[in-house]
Chains A and B, each alone.
Chain A
Amino acid sequence: MGDDRPDILRPSAGEAGGQMLQGTLDLMVLKTLEAMGPQHGYGIARRIEQISEQALRLNQGTIYPALQRLRQRGWIRAEWGASENGRKARYYSLTKAGKAQIETETESWERVAATMARFLKTAGS
């Protein structure tokens, strides 16, 4: 692909919180939405905390810039709706492009993870 690689797929630096790898949170959000269907910000944050078995104590607030970013890229969409107990809440769901993105990112994550694992095994000893 070379130069033809679309700009929109190039990672842009300095967006997510410092301690997490770029894109980690994004992929988590996307995966969560894939698994749970439409969900509001609080629900997504709780779900990520639960799945990661509290290992990842993120500030729940950081979920919102991530949601905004994903929405602007067209991977998720947002709609106002009523929550379980009748409160007005903003619901997020995956778009077609978002589903495709999960595949791409999963693939690249697995590659990175595998590389890291190999690297830690061989270079560490």
Chain B
Amino acid sequence: MRTVISRIGAMFRRRRLDAELDEELRAHLEMAAEENQRRGMPADEAWKAALRDFGGVTQVRESMREREGLLWFENLRRDAGYALRQMRKSPGFALVVVLTLALGIGATTAVFTLVYSTLVRALPYPEAERIVALHDVRTQGQSTGGLMSVPRFFDVQARNRSFESLGFFFFDQSTMIAGNRLPMSVQAAGTNADLWDVLGVKPLLGRGYDARDDEPKAPETAVLSYSGWQKIFGGDPGVIERPIRLDGRPVTIVGVMPADADMPTGIDLWHDAQFAAQGWNSYRGEGTRFINVFGRLRAGVTGETAQADLDRIGEQLRREHRQSDGMWGFTSQTLREDRYGAMRPALLALMVASALLLLIACINVANLMLSRASARQREVALRRALGASGQRITMQFLTESAVLGLVGGGIGVAAAFALVRGVAAKLPGRLGVPGTVEMNWPVVLVALLIALATGIAFGIAPVLESRRVELNTAMKQGEARLGGAGHTVRGALVSVQVGLSLILVIGASLLAESLWHLVKNPLGFAPEHVLTFSLRLPWDTKDPAIRSFFSDVQQRIEALPGVQAAGQMDALPTVDWHLRSNFDADWLPRIANKPAINAEDRNIGGNLLGAMETPLLAGRALTVQDSLEKNIPVLVNQELVREYLAGGNPLGRHLLVGGKPHEIVGVIANLRGTAGAIANPPGPEVYWPADGNGGVVGRYFVVRSHGDPAQLVRAIREQVHAVDPQQAIGNVATMDELLNKAVAQPRLNMAVVASFAGIALLLACVGIYGVVAFFVAQRTQEIGVRMALGATRREIALLFVRRAVIPAAVGLAAGVVASLGLTQLLRSQLYGVRPNDPAVFALSVAALLVTVAIATLRPALAAASVNPVEALRE
């Protein structure tokens, strides 16, 4: 081993070797010259003669330098060839080793691809580390997902010293009419022109809109996203300068952005919102936050400096607008953090899980190599007798395992590549955005390095074993046998393997139970047989037109055959949408500038409770008549009552907004997922009639059907077209689909960790079986002797069971301890189950015990059924 290292070192320590070589050659020449002088030659003659006798000094030196490096490769090449011949000779062994490693490396590579793509790789914008997400957050209590109000955006823009440019966007479900085509619903975003500077993207075609387009009275402009351009216009380069109608307004398409520009993700087009600093001053209050804000830091400005700057502005605004801004401040985070920060704990957990799996695979392979090494002791002894040095044999074993590692790793990487290619687009949320998750060279390189390191690591056990070979004894057939140390090593491997598997099984069980809670806990609605879609009227539609349009559509849908109930809501559960308001209440003390209640607002219409099957717990549902009242009545959810009126009867009491009383006429069950993730606990909510207060222009319909809800889409499309040929339905999805999407990330985590745990159990099973079977095979004679001396079959079987059970028990104990620490990583991923849930731990230990039992019993029983006469005769 020492010379191996020195040879590797030689490649880097050329200089020193050269110096040594030069010194050696110089010493030679001096000695030769001295001797010549002693024979009577004059000094310079003696030197010349010495040089002549030596031959070409330069040639000798060059050839030696070359050899110093070459030998290493030469040996490596030979050992690799030898390793491949060995693999061909015992294909079964090679296959098991290679497959086991391929599983371990493949799993690790696939997970690492996720991590690399999100947390490591540069984002697709120039100097993306200078892009910062600005969030508007309440200093206490729930915020609205970081959304900012327009006046506050302009305040930050005017007062900051840290940002080169500030951009915003807001989601804008729009109805587009292009040329003489039918209207279609498009995913749009309203932005300012500076957003392009923040991102630093250049248009693929045409131009991005600029400061002139930002002017409120300028002709309206839009820019297509790459996917929108392909999907809607088939990639026609003639779209530039083409006029379209967006929610009834004339808009000109001025450019197409490259596929990389995905801010926000998954939209068809951006249009210039034409907001101006003036004219928004009355929109400071609660419920006016709807824009996402991003900034590009000035060169040299750090995130901390920018945050301090934002803190200063936040403080100023709290003082200047005590009533509206008094409880709000700004936070900031990098673009990467904003996009992927929430996934970090999940990704970390997956990374740990895959590393554990890789370790288990390595241990299995180490076990296999160990068994094989003892079978090859005679070969080793023979080689050493023939003069091979211990180092050469070490090198040979290591090369062999490195070759196995690389072949297994290569297959694993190829499999991971295929897997990533296959599922990348189906990954949940941001991960599924095309181009996000890709395997590239850095990942492949790291994976192959891991494979190589793995190969060398598991090759070390057999090397240590081979060092123990004593020439004389091993040469004699039948004497080649492992000493006690080999048993200890194997026992330790069993312990580690069982321990690691236990961690994976516990992790998978926790995630599975969490997912079960997530899906099975009452949602507050029944998702089966429900179709949802959106309709969006232009902003400036008059109130009566809004009312008549939605009530017309409502009636026509209710009249369709197969429809059980239909209702409307401005934002569906599982959709990340926020609209919050402050309330006073007639049963709570009123304090100036300190509203009693902060709650999410939702606007509903039609028979929403019937369509969702949301239980009405007290009072009555809202009616069409309610929206016409001067003081509109409202519904509240159970949580609002629990939090602010515990034990009291809310019916007949009033919520106060701007001094106006709104009677609470009913209480409904909590709807999970109204504020985004269904894992979030529902907060207080207030439900308003959507037709009140002028009418909401953008609504989702919720249609409960008797049969397959997807069958209704066509009929609904026709009905909407009949009501208004300028409108089109969008965002068509069943409620089941929405829910599936909402639990996709936790389900993916669970599935990955569960499959890792399954593979781990299988590998542990194979590994333990291998170890016990090996003990039995090694000790057949001993069994015979013991039986001859009166040991019962039971005692013999127990002898071997103990061999596996004791290390397994040690492993389980260590695994439980390690799990108590590691499952804390999962804390943020769990819903309705604690990370150290004793039931989960107990069941997981039981699962491992069953595995150990299965793996041990067969070889142990085989030992017990040995025929003592035959065993002794061998």
**Across the interface, do A61 and B379 meet the contact criterion of CB distance under 8 Å?**
no
Closest residue of chain A to B55 (Cβ to Cβ) is A59
Q: Digit string of B68-85 for contact with A (CB within 8 Å is 1, else 0)?
A: 100100100011011001
Flag whether A53 is at the interface (Cβ < 8 A). Answer: no
Interface of A is mostly: helix
Taking the closest CB of chain B, its distance from the CB of A99, in whole angstroms, is 9
* CB-based closest 8 A-B pairs: A59-B55, A74-B389, A61-B55, A61-B60, A42-B31, A61-B54, A42-B28, A90-B24
Q: Interface stretch among B274-282, B380-388, B447-455?
A: B380-388
Task: Give complex CA distance A87, B30 in Å.
Answer: 9
**Across the interface, do B67 and A69 meet the contact criterion of CB distance under 8 Å?**
yes
Q: Digit string of B371-394 for contact with A (CB within 8 Å is 1, else 0)?
A: 000000001001100111101100
Flag whether B53 is at the interface (Cβ < 8 A). Answer: yes
A61-B59, A100-B387 known; A68+B28 contact, CB < 8 A = no
A-B contact pairs, 12 of them (CB 8 A): A59-B54, A60-B55, A61-B56, A61-B57, A62-B55, A64-B28, A65-B63, A69-B67, A74-B3, A75-B387, A97-B388, A104-B386
A60-B53, A87-B31 known; A6+B386 contact, CB < 8 A = yes
Flag whether B791 is at the interface (Cβ < 8 A). Answer: no
Task: Give complex CA distance A6, B389 in Å.
Answer: 12
Task: Give complex CA distance A12, B389 in Å.
Answer: 18
**Across the interface, do B67 and A97 meet the contact criterion of CB distance under 8 Å?**
no
Across the interface, B27 reaches (CB within 8 A) one of A6, A8, A65, A87, namely A87
CB contacts (< 8 Å) of A95 on chain B: these are: 389
Flag whether A110 is at the interface (Cβ < 8 A). Answer: no
A8-B388, A61-B54, A87-B30 known; A41+B24 contact, CB < 8 A = yes
Task: Give complex CA distance A12, B54 in Å.
Answer: 25
Flag whether A28 is at the interface (Cβ < 8 A). Answer: no
Interface residues of B in 25-54 (CB under 8 A from A): 25, 27-28, 30-32, 34, 53-54
CB contacts (< 8 Å) of B20 on chain A: these are: 90
CB contacts (< 8 Å) of B576 on chain A: these are: none
Taking the closest CB of chain B, its distance from the CB of A90, in whole angstroms, is 5
Taking the closest CB of chain A, its distance from the CB of B55, in whole angstroms, is 3
Taking the closest CB of chain B, its distance from the CB of A84, in whole angstroms, is 9
Q: Which residues of A contact B (CB under 8 A)?
A: 3-4, 6-9, 12, 40-42, 45, 59-62, 64-65, 68-69, 72-75, 83, 85, 87-90, 95, 97, 100-101, 104
**Across the interface, do B27 and A74 meet the contact criterion of CB distance under 8 Å?**
no
Task: Give complex CA distance A39, B60 in Å.
Answer: 20
**Across the interface, do A65 and B60 meet the contact criterion of CB distance under 8 Å?**
yes
Q: Digit string of B1-16 for contact with A (CB within 8 Å is 1, else 0)?
A: 0010000000000000
Across the interface, B53 reaches (CB within 8 A) one of A6, A59, A101, A104, namely A59
Flag whether B338 is at the interface (Cβ < 8 A). Answer: no
CB contacts (< 8 Å) of A60 on chain B: these are: 28, 32, 53-55
CB contacts (< 8 Å) of B854 on chain A: these are: none
CB contacts (< 8 Å) of A75 on chain B: these are: 387
**Across the interface, do B32 and A101 meet the contact criterion of CB distance under 8 Å?**
no
Most B CB atoms within 10 A — which of A6, A61, A69? A61
Name 11 extra pairs, CB < 8 A, besides A60-B54, A74-B3.
A8-B383, A8-B387, A40-B27, A45-B28, A59-B56, A61-B55, A64-B25, A65-B60, A69-B67, A72-B71, A89-B24
**Across the interface, do A12 and B388 meet the contact criterion of CB distance under 8 Å?**
no
A40-B27, A42-B32, A68-B64 known; A9+B53 contact, CB < 8 A = no
Task: Give complex CA distance A45, B28 in Å.
Answer: 10
